[in-house]
């Protein structure tokens, strides 16, 4: 069975959460007879069209961007040609331009949408787009929410529950390197004292400004690994507030990231807006058996990190409560270890790539059989 994934960007151009999810779906469905192609936009389509990890990543030229939405003239032709060869089209929402391509192509194939997030940032433009968005979501055959929490809390999905199903995003442990002694030595040299860890892209909705505010009340180091649009602003904030226990490591190699995860006291994920729909970094922490701290924002973060079972969930944008939670992990090692074991168990039960791949393959075949 041939499945075409369609999203605005994909490897090797970018390496964000949606791209990682598409990659994991492609890898995990391959053993179930699914042949995957991915079509996305690129500034360098010829160079970045390539075969990777068992599937083709095809590109159409990105002509311009408006309100975080990529547009392409040639993608209509390329999408039409690839959709004609595919048995099923798998869209990844949100991307308003995708809706236009869907209706223009009239491909007539079964369709799945993975609903990654509500539109949060472009709220002023949403009233204009909303009628077209709802038309698109009503037209597709199935919608996948990544957690029951998001399905319940999204005002958009609430009206589409009849065609919605839940498939949590999973990751494959074998994709991650096991830290060597050298990697652990690097970690100890980079952070000599006990620490909690954040890993991710430094974006406005990650709540890292709140974490830096909380740092003066925290009884350990706070390590921030990653780079992103607000990196310099966060560094300036930490310097201005004299938060000397906050360590910025920037981008780290995958083996060093795993060393940090294995050596930290716990994982802190202070995202405070609904733009954080799931949190793959939380799944990585759960895979490593680490207690987690996150914020209650009504999304999948509270599905991955179950309050009181795998860690602590605190109100968003509350530095005092965030510091209190971190100190509870620091001061209660037995309790923290219990949360870590429960997090690992929850990963094995709910968040493996194999489980996700089986669920998507089953959905694909159901839709294909329905058409036949």
Which residues 6+ apart lie within 8 Å of 278 measured at CB? 17, 116, 146, 147, 150, 169, 299, 300, 301, 304
From the list 97, 101, 77, 73, the residue with the least C-alpha distance to 89 is 101
DSSP state of 206: G
Number of domains within the chain: 2
- Whether residue 132 is predicted with pLDDT greater than 90 in this model: the reply is yes
pLDDT for res 120: 77
Find how far residue 76's CA is from the centre of its chain.
Answer: 27
CATH number for the domain harbouring residue 207: 3.40.50.2000
Average pLDDT of the segment spanning 9-34: 94
User: In this structure, are 266 and 341 located in the same domain?
Assistant: yes
Co-location of 113 and 247 in the same domain: no
Measured torsion, CA atoms of residues 79, 42, 278, 354, in degrees rounded to the nearest 10: 60
Rounded Cα distance between 344 and 351, Å, is: 10
Are residues 162 and 182 both part of a single domain?
no
Mark whether 79 and 223 lie in a shared domain.
no
Q: What domain range is 147 assigned to? A: 2-172+352-371
Kindly state whether residues 238 and 155 are assigned to the same domain.
no
CA atoms of 280 and 172, how far apart (whole Å): 12
My answer on whether 32 and 142 are in the same domain is yes
Same domain? For 208 and 162 the reply is no
Q: Are residues 299 and 367 in the same domain?
A: no
Mean pLDDT of 167-183: 96
Q: Are residues 342 and 195 in the same domain?
A: yes
247, 282: one domain: yes
* Mean pLDDT (whole number) for 155-171: 94
DSSP string, 16-70: -HHHHHHHHHHHHHGGGT-EEEEEEEESSHHHH-EEETTEEEEEEE--EEETTEE
DSSP H or E segment with residue 331:
helix 319-331
Q: What is the pLDDT of residue 122?
A: 66
> Tens digit of pLDDT for each residue in 295-336?
999 999 999 999 999 999 999 999 999 999 999 999 999 999
pLDDT(372) > 70: no
Q: With 80 as the cut, is the pLDDT of residue 113 above it?
A: yes
Residues 129, 246, single domain; the answer is no
pTM above 0.85, yes or no: yes
pLDDT computed for residue 123 by the predictor: 66
310, 284 contact by CB (below 8 A):
no
- State what percent of residues in the chain have pLDDT above 70: 99
Mean pLDDT of all residues belonging to the chain: 95
pLDDT score of 66: 85
pLDDT of residue 129: 86
């Amino acid at each position: 069975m041939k499945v075409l994934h369609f999203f605005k960007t994909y490897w090797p151009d970018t390496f964000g959460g949606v791209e990682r999810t598409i990659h994991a779906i492609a890898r995990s469905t391959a053993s179930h007879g699914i042949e995957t192609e991915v079509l996305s936009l690129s500034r360098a389509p010829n160079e970045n069209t390539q075969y990777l990890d068992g599937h083709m990543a095809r590109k159409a030229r990105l002509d311009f961007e408006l309100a975080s939405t990529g547009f392409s003239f040639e993608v209509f032709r390329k999408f039409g040609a690839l959709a004609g060869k595919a048995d099923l089209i798998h869209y990844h929402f949100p991307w308003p331009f995708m809706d236009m391509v869907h209706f223009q192509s009239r491909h007539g194939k079964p369709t799945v949408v993975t609903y990654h997030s509500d539109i949060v940032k472009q709220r002023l433009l949403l009233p204009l787009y909303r009628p077209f968005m709802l038309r698109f979501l009503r037209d597709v055959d199935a919608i996948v929410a990544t957690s029951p929490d998001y399905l319940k809390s999204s005002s958009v999905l609430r009206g589409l529950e009849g065609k919605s199903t839940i498939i949590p995003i999973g990751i494959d442990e074998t994709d991650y390197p096991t830290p060597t002694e050298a990697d652990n030595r690097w970690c100890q040299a980079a952070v000599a004292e006990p620490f909690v860890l954040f890993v991710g892209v430094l974006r406005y909705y990650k709540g890292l400004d709140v974490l830096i505010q909380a740092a003066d009340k925290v009884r350990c180091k706070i390590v921030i690994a990653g780079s992103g649009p607000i990196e310099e602003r966060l560094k300036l904030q930490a310097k201005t507030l004299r938060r000397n226990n906050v360590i910025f490591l920037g981008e780290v190699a995958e083996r060093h990231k795993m060393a940090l995860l294995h050596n930290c006291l716990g994982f802190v994920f202070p995202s405070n807006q609904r733009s954080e729909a799931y949190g793959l970094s939380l799944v990585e922490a759960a895979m490593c058996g680490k207690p987690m701290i996150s914020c209650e924002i009504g999304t999948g973060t509270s599905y991955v990190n179950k309050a009181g079972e795998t860690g602590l969930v605190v109100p968003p944008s509350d530095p005092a409560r965030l510091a209190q939670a971190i100190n509870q992990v620091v001061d209660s090692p037995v309790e923290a270890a219990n949360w870590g074991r429960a997090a690992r168990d929850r990963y094995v039960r709910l968040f493996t790539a194999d489980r996700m791949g089986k669920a998507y393959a089953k959905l694909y075949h159901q839709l294909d059989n329905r058409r036949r």
